[in-house]
Amino acid sequence: MTDRSALSPAASNVRPLRPGLDQPVARNPGVPFDPGWFDTLRVNLSAVERRVATLGTRRSVKKDAQAAWLLKAITNIDLTTLNGDDTAGRVKRLCAKARQPVRADLLEALGMSHERIRTGAVCVYHRFVATAVEALAGSGIPVAAVSTGFPAGLIPHEFKLKEIAASVADGAHEIDIVVTREHILTGNWLALYNEIRDFRAACGDAHLKAILATGDIQTLSNIARASMVCMMAGADFIKTSTGKEGVNATLAVSLVMVRAIRDYHERTNWLVGFKPAGGVSTAKGVLNYQILMKEELGRRWLEPDLFRIGASSLLADIERQLEHHVSGRYSAFHRHPLA
């Protein structure tokens, strides 16, 4: 997929490879800007399409194994509400669902009542960060705030930094920022790098997820280059979409981004997470993303500190599938409310 001959040697500031499943992942500090890492990146669209076409066919996940994979997927979900009619009450109900994403009777029937099944995070606008932090107190579930003029990202740069700082001050553990698409579309990679570096500094201890808005930046080659620049600038995660574009997460885009993560890891030994968002709404669909992560990056990237899924309706469909696994019957969608 990439022209490796054009890429520079690995950074010398390295750390041990692949921590264990129960070991924390050190944050990606970034590396100095070097356009030689990405200037000649090219993506073969036909090869990408052939690869993603095999994801649902090469590996069959059924019955108990499927239930286990779906329970795992729940722990990767950033349970999200980003609507114009959001209220404090809706956010509180969403947080209650994040604490107990699967009905207790289903967990008991699955033999999982002893396990602490929680979602990976709750994602809200800045206005509701404090509400979510209070509702999730003691749960260990982090609050993620969308920031920097989400979803368009066209407010002045100084306002973006202030919004990040305000969300961190209110208790957000993670900040999902939107990049300036113009930098990507015009090939101004240094401006993109400097922007992400500023956002990373403003986040302090909060983790930075860089949203590329892949539906807006047109080409897979642009997506590969933007992914690499964001990681070079210190992004802890790269994320496909805001969920507000005409086209959001797809397997083709995700393949390009996770291979950029793999390239970055091979060069620097730093681990960067991945978050598809928007359009991942079915249990069948999320299995393909899990298989993609497992096959392209390895088992460590199935843990919530390196893999998140931005979704809302996905959780309801997973719960329906788990109920079918237990009872043999599909329940109505409205019996699995979120907020």
Measured CA to CA in angstroms, residue 142 lies from 12, 209, 301 at distances of: 32, 13, 18
Structure confidence at residue 331 (pLDDT) = 79
Look-up: residue for tokens 């964001």?
Answer: 230
Question: Would you say the pTM of this structure is higher than 0.85?
Answer: yes
Domains and CATH numbers, the chain: 36-335 (3.20.20.70)
Output the CA–CA distances (angstroms, integers) from residue 245 to 68, 212, 254, in the order listed. Answer: 32, 11, 16
For residues 223-243, average pLDDT: 97
CA nearest neighbour of 145 among 163, 119, 118, 120: 163
174 — pLDDT class (breaks 50, 70, 90)? very high
Task: Determine if residue 308 is left, alpha or beta; phi over 0 gives left, psi from -120 to 50 gives alpha, anything else beta.
Answer: beta
Active-site annotation holds for 176 = yes
**Which one of 97, 160, 209, 275 is the catalytic residue?**
275
Mean pLDDT of 177-186: 97
Model confidence over 8-38: pLDDT tens digits?
A: 334 434 444 567 777 889 999 999 999 999 8
State the average pLDDT over residues 315-333: 89
- The per-residue pLDDT for range 240-283, each reduced to its tens digit, is 999 999 899 999 999 999 999 999 999 999 999 999 999 899 99
The number of residues making up the chain comes to 339
Active-site residue 239, yes or no? yes
Query: Among this protein's residues, is 97 annotated catalytic?
Result: no
Tell me which of 176, 216, 263, 305 is the catalytic residue: 176
Report the mean per-residue pLDDT for the chain.
91
Residues in CB range of 163: below 8 A, 6 or more apart: 126, 147, 148, 149, 155
User: What is the per-residue DSSP string for 114-148?
Assistant: TS----SEEEE-GGGHHHHHHHTTTS-PPEEEEES
What is the structure's pLDDT at 338? 64
Question: According to the model, what pLDDT value does residue 21 have?
Answer: 79
Question: One of 97, 216, 239, 305 is an active-site residue; which one?
Answer: 239
Q: What is the pLDDT of residue 48?
A: 96
pLDDT at 339 over 90: no
Give me the mean pLDDT over the 159-164 stretch: 98
